[in-house]
Structure 1
Amino acid sequence: MANEWQHTACILCECNCGIVVQVEDRKLARIRGDKEHPWSQGYTCNKALRLDHYQNNRARLTSPMRRRPDGTFEEIDWDTAIVEIAEGFKHIRDTYGGDKIFYYGGGGQGNHLGGAYSGAFLKALGAKYRSNALAQEKTGEAWVDAQLYGSHTRGEFEHAQVSVFVGKNPWMSQSFPRARVVLNEIAKDPTRSMVVIDPVLTDTAKMADFHLRVQPGTDAWCLAALAAILVQENLCNETFLAEHVHGVEPVRAQLRDVPVAEYAQRCGVDEELLRAAARRIAGADSVAVFEDLGVQQGPNSTLCSYLNKLLWILTGNFAKKGAQHLHSSFAPLFSTVSGKTPVTGAPIIAGLIPANAVPEEILTDHPDRFRAMIVESGNPAHSLADSTACRKAFQSLELMVVVDVAMTETARLAHYVLPAASQFEKPEATFFNFEFPHNGFQLRRPLLSPLPGTLPEPEIWARLVRALQVIDEAELRPLREAAQQSRQAFTEAFLGTVAGNPIMSKLLPYVLYETLGPTLPDGMAGAAAVWGLAQKTALTYPDAVRRAGHADGNALFDAILEGPSGVTFTVHNYEDDFALISHSDHKIALEIPEMLADLKALAATTSQLTTAELPIVLSVGERRAYTANDIFRDPSWRKRDTDGALRVSIEDAQALGLDHGGRARIITAAGSAEATVEINETMLAGHASLPNGFGLDYIGEDGRSVTPGVAPNSLTSTNWRDAYAGTPWHKHVPARIEACRAG
């Protein structure tokens, strides 16, 4: 039916709010929130309503592309592309080793299923190194989490008496269900409070009871002071610490020595305001904390991750309503793989190479350098620090293949570009399943058939694995036959077959796609890997899965197939939080020696990284009402701020002679760019910001190329990075700003 409302989800941030869509002439004609979605419940922000600008834009690819020697591209057929690419990677593997093949991507904010299938091709080649956007943001926090309790936590802000946001503006960046509704509820309730740590007077900060307006880059001193106040004023939950935490005393001893008054001056926050905020946290019935890019992409970011977690651990805000929680995972975003990168020895955290190290692992004569690269649903030539170095590195590769819906900045550097079906033309899902006590998963059905000439990623990877000829058709036949009989027959055959076949056990997504996939509803073959994830989930959390109404993995999988708005896959009790701690004693391990050493060193650490030559702190990648990730290439979706203005303070505008709406040149150690000026009272003197999502070129209807705004990574450097995680300091780039004069 042409006017049928179809269930799907927004693909622009980790919330993946449920939406319903009416499709007309292959256009997403009408979009509204899905009231049946278990988490968003009809809520969306303004950006979801513009999703047709992703689905229908002039940058879509409709044929495999091969680069000619002169750098131009030619269309080739799929069979030719698959054969040549498979042979190219086999050559790399046989000549240098499979570990010289590097994989970047695996899905953005809305498409993770393709990444689930790429692993089969990578394992068949012996590839072992990978990275993605999380290595620009979350690996420092993941490193801390792994040592404290073993996994990721999320705050229950809907019920928290005190919500703490560290370098986070959820009014604009969302990140938890119904964010603006929840923020308004907190602000209107006199029994609840909000603490915001941010140098910018953000929309969220304007709602806060305690805005700790730190000087840019001084969050560590602010957080250390807050934690120290809890200890020095005897505000810790001693019962909780005695029963559920070990390693407390070394931490307590270190915090006793923190000079609170001095650190208040260092971070620029009034000492009494710091003490009032700490006391409010300590006295609350429940506290939830959220850290985000404001600190995760700035100085001392890993230390900040550690310190902000002390706020809820020291006060016992865990395993109770409205507090901080571990949670189930339908498919973990982070692996447990660790180690060092082959060339520079940079730390590999959660299985990911630091994004800032990527060019250095290629641009070298080291024998273990990467020789080939696969990029799937990512645009690292635009999104990683120092775009110039990234482009040079990618151009030096012997083989580079990009899988994407558009001819991105990265795709133009590739030897082959494979056109993927859009996220609304295939079954899709994300693994941002972070809720507790009820956690959920949505398998999205295709709203449209794939654009002619494109293929869903599961089919692309399956064709590439077939071309490697690592599994014989005869090995798959028994599973195909069992899948035709029943789900239970397939389960038994699958477990028996895979257990005795080490090659098949390494290539499970491919095996499922080839055997179970054809038996799934029309257009849903790409969901076959979800069956395997459902089995694993039921084995990992058997009681919680049954509590959610699913007898076993097959029942869970069927519920997922039959639930277009999503299903709850686990229901935990609050006391289950302790069982989810991965340490053998199920206690939080508070002492991390490296972090305590850094905490001690703060007293002698400089908080000023700017210079007389570069006196302004530039934050790049700010989330605004009309910014989104790179998948929105068509700039016409924006109703305002169409040039991605440079926001500067009133004081800096006066000192530098900048005019609102005028032009300014931004100079950093890495490069320079021009931007439109927005004089904004939310900015501190000495602090400026540029938004994310700009600097992408686009061919308009008139055939002319336009590139609105500044590509942020033309101004960033790979040298500015966290000492532990290698994450970039995008929010703390020393810069100089000069007025551009007409003529």
Structure 2
Amino acid sequence: MDEWRPSACILCECNCGVEILVGPSGSFDKIRGDKLHPASHGYTCNKALRLDRYQNGRTERLTRPLRKAPDGTFEEVSWQTAIAEIAGRLKELPGESIFYYGGGGQGNHLGGAYATATMKAYGAKYRSSALAQEKTGEFWVSARMLGAPTRSDFEHCEVAVFVGKNPYQSHGFPRARAVLKEIGKDPARSMIVIDPVRTETAELADFHLRIRPGTDVYLLTAMAAVLVQEKLIDEDWLAEHADGLEKVRATLAAVAVGRYCAIAGVEEDLVRAASRRIASASSVAVTEDLGVQMNRDSTVVSYVQRLLWLLTGNLAVPGTQYVFSNLAPIARDRGHKVGEGPVSPVAGAKIISGLVPCNVIAEEILTDHPARYRAMLVESSNPAHSLADSAAMRSALQALDLLVVIDVAMTETARLADYVLPAPTQFEKWEATFFTFDFPRNIFHLRKPVVRAPEGPLPEPEIHARLVEASGALPPGVVAPLREAAVRGRAEFAEAFLNLLGAEPRLARLAPVLLYRTLGPTLPDGAAAAAVLWGAAHTFVQENPAGVKRAGYGEGLEAGERLFDAIVSSPHGVVTTDDEHEETWRRLKGRRIQLDLPEFLAEVAGLGDRPERAGDAEWPFVLSAGERRAFTANTIIRDPDWRRRDAEGALRIAPSDAARLGLATGDRAVLSTRRGSVEVVVEPTDRMRPGHISLPNGFGLDHPDPESGRVVTGIAPNELTSSEARDPYAGTPWHKHVPARLTPLTAGT
């Protein structure tokens, strides 16, 4: 028990490699960065070092399947009973009325790879996840402009631009804090931060464009207009690679830069200087995050920020944007135009990358529409807490004919379920992350269990396999021959598997479970959950032959087998592709960049005609609901003891606003929005602009307490947010722009 065991942090998308020293009782006695991890190289932030609070902290751990009794309490049932009853009830419902939510959080993805088979087995068509609260607008814009998603090379860029992002806390790329400090110390490099908050990243920046909340589209449009009006764009590069320049040029030439800067609340000279710095740089890396993706004009902002780096030719060279390889893509979008492509059955909301907008889920349920969602399968997610307007979401979940939750702990959503199916923690099972965006050397990390799971829970692939089998969709006699072929060898198995799918194409939809039941038992160390990666590895080799070959796996079918074997046998992670920068162009498949997206360019052209927003006496503040801070991450750690600071999750407010209201540090006030009111503790800080207040994410969860039973720490932000406040294109929520007011609590109240 005294060995260091490799794994990964699960608190953000980077999933940095860690090593864990496990004590005799299963405690994580020490945690350190894994120097052998091919992306993080031993780096980790302060959050990962307290992961014992996830594995062994105070939480209401689930260990047996539960069924809700008529009186609302839960009773334990056997796995056989739970699976049989769930399958029976699902088969009674129209498949299109079954809705799937989840599929993995950070570093918890293998289960989601098997959920597709369960959906197909029961005829389910609609799904969503947390990505539809954040990234779908960006996915859609990228698909329409370039045909593929991109990421940014901050490690090598001359100029780094962060739009609504504080990577010092939210990370988002390897070694984030170290890279930020390197840029900040190098006089030849510059950092531009667009954020109303003076974040830790903004403090390192050369240019902090401290905008008024919700005016990002004006500021970014002004910056793009400076590039056009001062003739700073890369004409030759654009002529070679892009279409639509003249319409974009004409629109931006008409922009009143000074007026837009005034609306955004940033000095025009500073905006022009930042824009010129972008134009003069040999390489510019740009990224956006939740500060704009959960804000007004989010999809249009995603469009305009891309214009900044496309107009200056910052693609496919070191230090700019690139198109990455991806062993297991988490989302792909076809780039349908407005008014085209699939929509949700009741609200008619645009479905992007296969995901229904989260903000319409309750609306899709709380109706008498014949196509309403009537059942939900929720996996590794907590929509009763994490989605907008928690009260409405709770009502929707309670209105379902059937709610099934697969999770580790008794969450707010699990308490509303008809059946709760327990799963091991992320350190008790084989797991992986599908957030693999590195370049030129991309990686994949399959992780072994660090500690043994308790008796009772089943890993998600096993749960999905049992649900598929109980559906009757898997014909009898199919599994045994494939399993026998797998025992005889991988080559014979591959031939048998492909022959089966050729003869029975409909079984391809159940391929994950077929692989799990046949190839899975032959994998070493109980790694059956990794079976789904076999097919992914072979597809990956076909899509990325040059990068795979440079990474040392060879070519063709043998490369797929070598890559898969390396993934399964490498506890620290493996390099999957070693790309040249020209690979970006190959992945774009000869497509020219589309600068003119008519709907969004029309929005940009119409900005000058929008009436300026007047102050609202009833709601004088803009609340950002869900700020990332030093000891907040996702909500996977329910035990509040992991936080060393800001135990209650204070409301941050500008000192001038606090003084006007007579509030000091530690005072309490009532925070109100159109959806509700809560009591908060106040922290005046000059990090905040006047009129702007913020609550941290990760709070408002309850945990068991031996003295008082169940205790809630801090404020659940979605008790204050509205599902109607959402982007008109992608449906993403406006969590960072919630109208609010603050009322001091007088003594004795």
Task: Give the alignment's TM-score, normalised by structure 1.
Answer: 0.98
CA contact (8 A) 1:196 1:210 kept: yes
User: What SS does the aligned partner of 1:495 have?
Assistant: helix
Taking the TM superposition and a 5 Å limit, the aligned residue runs for 1:106-145 are 106-145=103-142
Taking the TM superposition and a 5 Å limit, the aligned residue runs for 1:156-305 are 156-305=153-302
* 1:742 counterpart residue number: 747
* 1:36 counterpart = 2:36: yes
* 1:412 counterpart residue number: 415
Amino acid at match of 2:575: T
User: What SS does the aligned partner of 1:44 have?
Assistant: coil
Task: Give the alignment's TM-score, normalised by structure 2.
Answer: 0.97
Shift in Å, 1:704: 2.3
Residue of structure 2 aligned with 1:567, choices 574, 590, 601: 574
Structure 1 residue ranges (4+ consecutive) displaced by more than 4 angstroms after TM superposition = none
Moved more, 23-32 or 644-653: 23-32
* 1:717 counterpart residue number: 722
Moved more, 10-19 or 249-258: 249-258
Report the Cα distance in structure 2 between the residues aligned to 1:317 and 1:628, rounded to whole angstroms: 31
Report the Cα distance in structure 2 between the residues aligned to 1:304 and 1:12, rounded to whole angstroms: 27
User: What SS does the aligned partner of 1:194 have?
Assistant: strand
User: What SS does the aligned partner of 1:206 have?
Assistant: helix
Report the Cα distance in structure 1 between the residues aligned to 2:730 and 2:435, rounded to whole angstroms: 21
Amino acid at match of 1:6: R
CA contact (8 A) 1:446 1:523 kept: no
* 2:338 counterpart residue number: none
User: What SS does the aligned partner of 2:526 have?
Assistant: coil
Report the Cα distance in structure 1 between the residues aligned to 2:492 and 2:245, rounded to whole angstroms: 52
* 1:89 counterpart residue number: 90
* 1:62 counterpart = 2:63: yes
User: What SS does the aligned partner of 2:124 have?
Assistant: coil
CA contact (8 A) 1:218 1:607 kept: no
Shift in Å, 1:607: 5.4
Shift in Å, 1:610: 5.7
Report the identity percentage.
Answer: 57
Shift in Å, 1:134: 0.5
Shift in Å, 1:546: 1.1
Amino acid at match of 2:622: V
Structure 1 unmatched runs, 5+: none
Residue of structure 2 aligned with 1:730, choices 729, 735, 739: 735
Shift in Å, 1:633: 0.4
Moved more, 170-179 or 543-552: 543-552
Report the Cα distance in structure 1 between the residues aligned to 2:60 and 2:526, rounded to whole angstroms: 25
User: What SS does the aligned partner of 1:474 have?
Assistant: coil
CA contact (8 A) 2:140 2:333 kept: no
CA contact (8 A) 1:610 1:734 kept: no
Taking the TM superposition and a 5 Å limit, the aligned residue runs for 1:489-638 are 489-551=492-554, 552-582=559-589, 585-606=590-611, 608=613, 611-638=616-643
* 2:16 counterpart residue number: 17
* 1:320 counterpart = 2:323: no
Report the Cα distance in structure 2 between the residues aligned to 1:180 and 1:608, rounded to whole angstroms: 37
* 2:481 counterpart residue number: 478
CA contact (8 A) 2:139 2:333 kept: no
Task: Write the deviation string for residues 260-293 of structure 1: whole angstroms up to 9, x where unpaired.
Answer: 0110111011111111001100000100001000
* 1:436 counterpart = 2:439: yes
Residue of structure 2 aligned with 1:102, choices 99, 102, 106: 99
Task: Write the deviation string for residues 651-706 of structure 1: whole angstroms up to 9, x where unpaired.
Answer: 11011121210111111001111111001111000000000000001112335221
Report the Cα distance in structure 2 between the residues aligned to 1:742 and 1:105, rounded to whole angstroms: 45
Over 3 Å counting, the alpha-carbon distance change for 1:86 and 1:664 in structure 2 is same
Alpha-carbon RMSD: 1.1
Over 3 Å counting, the alpha-carbon distance change for 1:322 and 1:467 in structure 2 is same
Over 3 Å counting, the alpha-carbon distance change for 1:518 and 1:610 in structure 2 is farther
User: What SS does the aligned partner of 2:477 have?
Assistant: helix
Over 3 Å counting, the alpha-carbon distance change for 1:200 and 1:342 in structure 2 is same
* 1:685 counterpart residue number: 690
* 1:402 counterpart residue number: 405
Task: Write the deviation string for residues 319-346 of structure 1: whole angstroms up to 9, x where unpaired.
Answer: 1011111111111111447411100101
Residue of structure 2 aligned with 1:347, choices 345, 350, 356: 350
* 1:669 counterpart residue number: 674
User: What SS does the aligned partner of 1:436 have?
Assistant: coil
Task: Write the deviation string for residues 358-394 of structure 1: whole angstroms up to 9, x where unpaired.
Answer: 1000000111100100000000000000000000000
* 1:47 counterpart residue number: 47
Residue of structure 2 aligned with 1:465, choices 465, 468, 472: 468
User: What SS does the aligned partner of 1:250 have?
Assistant: helix
Shift in Å, 1:73: 0.8
Structure 2 unmatched runs, 5+: 335-340
CA contact (8 A) 2:294 2:736 kept: yes
Residue of structure 2 aligned with 1:643, choices 648, 651, 659: 648
Report the Cα distance in structure 1 between the residues aligned to 2:587 and 2:695, rounded to whole angstroms: 40
Task: Write the deviation string for residues 3-40 of structure 1: whole angstroms up to 9, x where unpaired.
Answer: 11111100010000000011121222211000011111
Task: Write the deviation string for residues 512-544 of structure 1: whole angstroms up to 9, x where unpaired.
Answer: 000000001122111111111111101111121
Residue of structure 2 aligned with 1:360, choices 350, 359, 363: 363
User: What SS does the aligned partner of 1:116 have?
Assistant: helix
